[in-house]
Amino acid sequence: MGEVGLVEKQVFTLERFTTLGGATLKDVRVGWESYGRLNADKSNAILVTHYFSGTSHAAGRYAASDPLPGYWDAVIGPGKAIDTDKYFVVSSDTLTNLNAYDPNVVTTGPASIDPDTGRPYGLTFPVVQIGDFVNVQKALVESLGITRLKALAGPSMGALQAYAWAATYPEMVERIIPVIGAAGGDPFLIAWLGVWAQPIRLDPKWNGGDYYGREAPLDGVRAALKVVVMQANQAGFARETWGRKAADPARPPQAALDNAFAVELGIAELAALRAAAVDANNFLYLVKANQLQGTDASRIRCPALLPYAPDDLIFPEEWVLRTARTIREAGNAVETVVLNGPYGHLNGIACIGQAGPAIARFLER
Amino acid sequence: MGEVGLVEKQVFTLERFTTLGGATLKDVRVGWESYGRLNADKSNAILVTHYFSGTSHAAGRYAASDPLPGYWDAVIGPGKAIDTDKYFVVSSDTLTNLNAYDPNVVTTGPASIDPDTGRPYGLTFPVVQIGDFVNVQKALVESLGITRLKALAGPSMGALQAYAWAATYPEMVERIIPVIGAAGGDPFLIAWLGVWAQPIRLDPKWNGGDYYGREAPLDGVRAALKVVVMQANQAGFARETWGRKAADPARPPQAALDNAFAVELGIAELAALRAAAVDANNFLYLVKANQLQGTDASRIRCPALLPYAPDDLIFPEEWVLRTARTIREAGNAVETVVLNGPYGHLNGIACIGQAGPAIARFLER
């Protein structure tokens, strides 16, 4: 088992794209990358869909010196669960991708230049939905001559895309692997997503979404990402990494209001690391897309493999098992796999290797 | 079973109080109320300790026209689980109580007037700990001639106070009823409490804690309370109350970024209702007091009854059961009671009646 080798970002462009809401966007561009080779009859393609704060970089490295490979490298590569000796794996950036300022991300969202004005769309960008992400992906795979996908796999928001694909284009989807995600679109998650977004609107630099060419609302973005980091993790992670230590032993937390615990500083640093690449408006639009999503799982017509984390705070076990039941009751083969680890939801990324054997078997079936 | 009748707020004053951190506060005042009568040998007193966003108003009404009685009225009253025909129940406001502008709350915290300057303390107020809340309560009950408490009972932050009391003053505590709370002081909770606080610091009106006499940082307070409301609830609550409806049917959420779901508006309204009485600095100091708390449960030397909610997002079942185990292993009788309901953590308030029979038996033992 090895890595997929050096990966090259490619760009897919749609001259015109009509959103589910009826808006027309010109020059829609999304980044994509692929691992493995498309076979002659184009029957070995697997589409990988990314999570809320993720990108199309699912496996391999852009340069040999990259410190880390793509997020699911544990299961994508030659001889791995999603075996690139057998399958052609495609992964694309979504619309309104969070990481608009990551040089390896290509996305179209409020931070993009509106061709009609030459300036960033900002809040004039239309609301987009997970179904729009799916339609862009469909155009991308069709541009490669692919009419049917061997499988769709993705964690979290990637799972939402897989459910939407399977329910909307059943004739194109042979099987799905929605990881750490439920189909339903629960009101509690809608409200939590709103809580993720609220620090951005509180930051005066956000300025009603009009901050391009000035200082970005980075305090708000950092605070928003802190909420995401917390909900995407679990207690074991905080306990093992930081415990109850002070951030600075010379400044004990009980001595002054501003003296922090190590865990507070640690979470803040994790959030700050990501914030530089994130556009605040893209964050708000991505929240909206996730809030709007709710696939009726009874419309799914293919086998499904659902790896999940039992202590997931974003998609609780109960919701995942309810989704599994609904897909099964509609007459499909459904399997669940438990991902153990200290990260809760993020076990779906950090501990995906545990599902490797189940994924390999599921793809061969 | 009836209500305790009309309740009168009383004020307890300490001319001087030294905090655990070594600071001296003059003229410390906290509000308190009582239900039932203290018996001749002063052996029938039960102290009730309130939760993070709560007050000393645990039972009864201030006026017959009050729409709702105190928060635990279901279990405090004549013939109820905490039977005021038998017990004398005392409940006091903590230091740095959140609801500094509630006319029925008396507290000492950063929003209080510093007698030395005639102006609010603001961030010159010293850090206070749950142990300081306990020491003020000890002085209060001793001022009533009480040297031993029949029981200590309280939900959430009230449970933290009960654990701290039992570990610090074992000779004064006959038994404890810590509801929806664990003793440990988990790093994950420390980090979440920091997430609760962050919107206040983001609000420019907070102004480094110096806003007295000007406009208060109410946007930040409202946003902070939204996080608290979310974590103190659970999915069933959101589903049953609002579902996936739009806040305004004429403005569907998919039509514009600012068009909200009913659940988003509902949570925001719940938070806004409370925000008017809340002082932003008191919120930050209360967060700090909770972050600092971690009672070593093996030091507890009395029986304990622990009602809890299995799907609690603030004090997860695992932590509560670990605390129960530690108290039991130290040689004490320990009982747990499951509180069912759609509210998660808040089942400890809204559904406390379910624990009524267990509480009544536990007090008689």
Delineate the domains of chain B, giving CATH numbers in brackets.
10-185+294-364 (3.40.50.1820), 190-287 (1.10.1740.110)
pLDDT at position A154 is 98
pLDDT at position A2 is 84
SS3 annotation, A180-222: CCCCCCCHHHHHHHHHHHHHHHHCHHHHHHCCCCCCCCHHHHH
Split at pLDDT 50, 70, 90, the class of A365 is confident
Asked if residue A7 has pLDDT above 80, the reply is: yes
- The 3-state DSSP class for residue A234 equals coil
Question: 3-state DSSP helix/strand/coil percent for chain B, to nearest 5?
Answer: 40, 20, 45
* Identity of the residue in B219, B230, B313 whose CB atom sits nearest the CB atom of A191: B230
Give the dihedral sign, CA B285/B290/B293/B299.
positive
Following DSSP, what letter does each residue of A249-307 receive, concatenated?
TTS-TTT-TTPPBHHHHHHHHHHHHHHTT--HHHHHHHHHHHHH----GGG--S-EEEE
Task: Pick the more confident residue, B271 or A2.
Answer: B271
> What amino acid is encoded at A296 in this protein?
D
pLDDT tens figures, B331-364 = 999 999 999 999 999 999 999 999 999 999 999 9
List of residues 6+ apart from A140 with CB closer than 8 A: A12, A30, A32, A90, A92
* Cβ of residue B202 closer than 8 Å to a chain A Cβ: yes
The Cα of A364 is separated from the nearest Cα of chain B by a number of Å equal to: 37
What percent of chain A shows pLDDT beyond 70? 100
Asked if residue A1 has pLDDT above 80, the reply is: no
Q: Are A70 and A63 in contact (CB under 8 A)?
A: no
* Cβ of residue A246 closer than 8 Å to a chain B Cβ: no
* Cβ of residue B242 closer than 8 Å to a chain A Cβ: yes
Q: Are B188 and A235 in contact (CB under 8 A)?
A: yes
* Identity of the residue in B187, B235, B255 whose CB atom sits nearest the CB atom of A239: B187
* Identity of the residue in A21, A202, A226 whose CB atom sits nearest the CB atom of B254: A21
How confident is the prediction for chain A on average, in pLDDT? 97
Q: Which residues of A are less than 8 Å from B237 in CB distance?
A: 188
* Cβ of residue A1 closer than 8 Å to a chain B Cβ: no
Which residue bears the tokens 């996080």? B227
Residue A99's H or E segment, with its range, is none
List of residues 6+ apart from B117 with CB closer than 8 A: none
Tokens describing residue A107: 């996305």
CA-based nearest residue to A308, from A345, A353, A359: A345
pLDDT tens figures, A293-328 = 999 999 999 999 999 999 999 999 999 999 999 999
- The 3-state DSSP class for residue A128 equals coil
Split at pLDDT 50, 70, 90, the class of A196 is very high
- Inter-helix orientation angle B130-143/B280-292, to 10°: 100
Report the relative pairing of strands A24-35 and A10-18 from DSSP bridges: antiparallel
pTM score of the predicted model: 0.97
Rounded Cα distance, A110 and A246, in Å:
40
Tokens describing residue B100: 């500094």
List of residues 6+ apart from A298 with CB closer than 8 A: A326, A327, A329, A330
Best residue of A193, A231, A263, A269 to probe chain B, by most B CBs closer than 10 Å: A263
Point out which residues pair with B31 in neighbouring strands: B11
Active site residue B156: yes
pLDDT at position A115 is 97
Rounded Cα distance, A327 and A166, in Å:
11
Range 50-109 of A in CB contact (< 8 A) with B: none
Active site residue B312: yes
SS3 annotation, A41-98: CCCCEEEEECCCCCCCCCCCECCCCCCCCCCCCCCEECCCCEECCCCEEEEECCCCCC
Q: Which residues of B are less than 8 Å from A267 in CB distance?
A: 191, 194-195
pLDDT at position A156 is 98
Mean pLDDT of A149-170: 98
The Cα of B341 is separated from the nearest Cα of chain A by a number of Å equal to: 15
A329 by Cβ neighbours in 10 Å (0-12 / 13-18 / 19+) ranks as exposed
pLDDT at position A251 is 98
pLDDT tens figures, A48-66 = 999 999 999 999 999 999 9
CA-based nearest residue to B292, from B130, B96, B53: B130
- In B, minimum Cα distance to A233 occurs at B188
List of residues 6+ apart from A337 with CB closer than 8 A: A305, A306, A307, A308, A354, A355, A358
Does this complex have an ipTM over 0.90?
Answer: yes
Rounded Cα distance, A312 and A300, in Å:
24
The Cα of B241 is separated from the nearest Cα of chain A by a number of Å equal to: 10
Asked if residue A135 has pLDDT above 90, the reply is: yes
Q: Which residues of B are less than 8 Å from A198 in CB distance?
A: 199, 223, 226
pLDDT at position B42 is 98
Which runs of E-coded beta strand occur in chain B? 10-18, 24-35, 45-49, 76-77, 82-83, 88-92, 113-114, 119-120, 151-155, 176-179, 304-308, 334-338
- Mean pLDDT for each 10-residue chunk of chain B (365 residues)? 92 98 98 98 98 98 96 98 98 98 98 97 98 98 98 98 98 98 95 98 97 97 98 97 97 98 98 97 98 96 98 98 98 98 97 98 95
Helix ranges restricted to H, B101-183: 130-143, 157-168
pLDDT at position A145 is 98
* Cβ count within 10 A of residue B257: 18
